């Protein structure tokens, strides 16, 4: 999953949402605070949707071996 670009976007969204939440805690204006929190919630919701769309790790998949055709041993 680390090599998938969606994982990078997911980390970026969550990072910005966390920074917006910190900004909301530090601001004194109630209007700005609610705006920052709404933006953070929207980004977290988008990150949730992206996380649901990420492919599963391939390490957990079991790959069934393909049967090979019989070998003709007539000499």
Q: What are 11-22's pLDDT values in tens digits? A: 899 999 999 999
Domain-embedded: residue 67: no
> Residue 1 above 50 pLDDT?
no
Q: Tally the domains of the chain.
A: 1
d(CA 44, CA 12): 11
Q: Which residue has the higher pLDDT, 54 or 24?
A: 24
In a domain, 75, yes or no: no
* Residue 61 within a domain: no
Q: Please report whether residue 11 resides in a domain.
A: yes
Residue 32 has pLDDT above 80, yes or no: yes
Who wins on pLDDT, 75 or 38? 38
Report if residue 27 sits inside a domain: yes
With 0.85 as the threshold, say if the pTM is over it. Answer: no
Q: Which residue segment(s) compose the domain that 24 sits in?
A: 5-54
The model's pLDDT over 40-52, given as tens digits with 9 standing for 90+, comes to 999 999 999 888 8
Q: Which two tokens stand for residue 19?
A: 């920074």
């Amino acid at each position: 999953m680390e090599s998938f670009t969606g994982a990078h976007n997911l980390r970026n969204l969550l990072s910005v949402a966390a920074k917006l939440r910190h900004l909301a805690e530090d601001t004194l204006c109630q209007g700005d605070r609610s705006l920052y929190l709404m933006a953070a919630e929207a980004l977290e919701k988008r990150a949730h949707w992206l996380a649901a769309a990420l492919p599963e790790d391939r390490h957990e998949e079991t790959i069934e071996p393909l049967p090979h055709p019989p070998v003709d041993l007539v000499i």
